[in-house]
Amino acid sequence: DGGITQSPKYLFRKEGQNVTLSCEQNLNHDAMYWYRQDPGQGLRLIYYSQIVNDFQKGDIAEGYSVSREKKESFPLTVTSAQKNPTAFYLCASSILNIGTAEAFFGQGTRLTVV
């Protein structure tokens, strides 16, 4: 079955540590996105990529980094520079730009800093 997979579902991190969230898709989509979801707020865009080896900052990129070495994979690293990393992280992909086509989301990773 085609889809988009995020792992792990739950992640605990100690303050000062970097952590990487995985996102893999087998939908052959060019565009991939990382969003952060906090209670009472809309999804906020962290980074996006519309082609391999290229990515763009979203609205809240500070303290995060990404890579896009393969079409299928778009991992997100939450660095120790992110001041408030505890959140629900969603990865999405779409065949075209997310503003022009249906987006498919992964199940999310809930990150907790302890």
> Which positions touch another protein (CB under 8 A)?
40-45, 48, 58, 88, 90, 97-100, 102-108, 110
Measured from the CB atom, the residue of 3 and 70 that comes closer to another protein is 3
- Terminal C-alpha separation, the chain: 36
Q: Least distance to another protein from the beta carbon of 27, Å?
A: 13
Give the Cα separation of 41 and 21 in Å (integer). 21
Measured from the CB atom, the residue of 30 and 88 that comes closer to another protein is 88
Residue 74: closest CA among 14, 13, 30, 16: 30
Q: Least distance to another protein from the beta carbon of 40, Å?
A: 6
Sign, Cα dihedral of 7, 94, 38, 81: positive
Measured from the CB atom, the residue of 59 and 69 that comes closer to another protein is 59
